[in-house]
Structures are given as structure tokens and as C-alpha cells.
Amino acid sequence: MATYRFKISLAGDGAVGKTSWVHRLCTGKFKNRHVPTLGVEVHSVNYRCTDGTSVEFDIWDCAGTDKYVGLGEGYYIGSDGAIIMCDLTNGDSCATSASWYHNIKRICSDIPVVVSGNKCESPDAYINMQTGERRGINFCNTSVAANKNVHLPLLILARKLRPDDSFEFVI
């Protein structure tokens, strides 16, 4: 059975749900307490796929607070893909996604990127990112709190990175 392994950089403003998302992937539980990431935290997430292969992601959860943002660019080096997370209830965090995108592409010009709009379940979510691709950038809505589409950003990346894209994750 083939195993594919990818380094994924996770970027975005502070308090948008990046660390809670990784915690949800690793434990299946929602962590509602915000503790800013200092520098970077690396977590491994593994999936079996419907085609009998497996995919391992090393997710580099980079700090999103201004004090530590400059460190993140060094962590992008060697990434196979990236996820930029924003908070759909916070228009500023969605607007700064473009800056995160340009910083990642400056370091890793040829990697696929997914912009994940978190908190889509919130009645305060006034931005809706339709799942799909525009201008070579993939978009999707997620909700870490409601456990909605939490695996989708990684599935989109895996389908871009693997030679065959006709598989699903076995959850």
C-alpha cells in the first residue's frame, strides 16, 4: 500500500480557529479556548483512502498574531501545500487572506493553496466562500465548532498533490 506524506503550512490571522482545527483533526474534539500559538506547532494527521493508499500530513500551525508572524515565513520553506484560514464572522481576517497568500507564494511559488473560511455555522457569518476554485486558489467553508467540512481542506490538497485524484478519505 502506497503512503503519501506532505508538509502543509497553516496560516491566517490570530484567533480564526487554526489551532482548534488541528486539535479537532487530531482528537475529534472541539477546543473553544484561544491560546495564541508561539512560533509554530507541528502535528501529524493520517488518512486511509478509498483507493487503498494512505496520506500523512505534517501540519505546521504557524502563529497568526502580529508579534510572531515574521517567524512563519521561514516555516513555509519545503511546504507541499498550504491552508489559509480566516473567520467568516470577521471580514478583516478574510481580507488579509490575500496577504497571507502572497507571502506563502513568495516563499513557495508552485504549491497549491486552500483558503478555508471557518465558522460558517455562525449566524454572524456574513461572508460565504463557495467551495471551488477561482484564479487557481481553492476555497471552502468549514466549521470547527460544528465539525463541518473539517477534512475538506486537506482532501482538496491531497487531490492536487497526488497523481490520482479519484479517491475519498475514509473517516
List the pLDDT tens digit at each of the 171 positions of the chain.
799 999 999 999 999 999 999 999 999 998 877 666 666 889 999 999 999 999 999 999 987 665 555 555 789 999 999 999 999 999 899 999 999 999 999 999 999 999 999 999 998 887 766 677 777 789 999 999 999 999 999 999 999 999 889 999 999
Residue tagged 494512505 (cell numbers): 54
- CATH assignment of the domain containing 158: 3.40.50.300
pTM of the full structure: 0.92
Q: What pLDDT is attached to residue 34? A: 64
Which structural domain range is residue 38 located in? 3-170
Distance set, CA 40 to CA 23, 26, 51, 63, 131 (Å) = 14, 16, 33, 6, 28
Tally of structural domains, the chain: 1
Q: What pLDDT is attached to residue 125? A: 82
